[in-house]
Amino acid sequence: MDKKLKYKELLKRIDSLIKDEEDYISKMSTIACEIFQSFDHFNWVGFYRLVNENILKVGPYQGTHGCLTIDINKGVCGKCVREKKVQIENDVNSIPHHIECSSDTKSEIVIPVFDKIGNLIAVLDIDSIKLNCFDSIDEKYLTIICANIY
């Protein structure tokens, strides 16, 4: 199935599942599960929460091992926090700041999650076993999903 169509169906499914939910951990858990199940080549889908000004802690996720704590000065996730913008790395082995959690991971996208007054409170991190996996279509739909959490 075409990627756009997959995302459109995913959005509908997530909307209907979380529309009456207020708890953001429940929403993050459902979102991680639904995204993970939608694409065969995703090996890690989940959230890191900003617990103080420097530290991300792992939140709801699906997949293999993920580091529990990430300093915001490190990793693709840390860069997303510092720059407050989407990071797409389509060949993670070519960038020195990537933190490797699985040698299977070839590309990664990280989306900032903001609360209603624009504070960054978490990031959504997705890893793929495919090189060159992510583009503006992933960015568009994943950003819509992340705008619906807080």
Contacts with ligand SME, residue ranges (CB under 6 A): 44, 66-67, 70, 75-77, 98-99, 101, 108, 125, 127
Give the nearest residue (CB) to ligand SME: 75
DSSP code string of 71-139: ETTSHHHHHHHHHTS-EEES-GGG-TTPPPS-TT--EEEEEEEE-TTS-EEEEEEEEESSTT---HHHH
Which of 13/104 has CB closer to ligand SME?
Answer: 104
Nearer Cβ to ligand SME, position 36 or 44? 44
8 Å CB contact between 49 and 124: no
**Closer residue to ligand SME (CB): 8 or 31:** 31
CB of 139 to ligand SME, least distance (A): 17
List Cβ neighbours of 117 (8 Å cut-off, separation of 6 or more).
Answer: none
Nearer to ligand SME (CB atom), residue 64 or residue 119: 64
**CA 150 – CA 129 distance, rounded (Å):** 29
- Least Cβ distance, residue 98 to ligand SME (angstroms): 5
* 30: three-class secondary structure by DSSP: helix
Q: Give me the least distance between CB of 79 and ligand SME, in Å please.
A: 8
- Collect all residues with Cβ–Cβ distance below 8 Å to 59 and sequence separation of at least 6: 25, 28, 46, 47, 48, 49, 122
**How near is the Cβ of 2 to ligand SME at its closest, in Å?**
27
Min dist. Cβ of residue 143 to ligand SME (A) = 18
Give 75 or 112: the residue with its C-beta nearer to ligand SME. 75
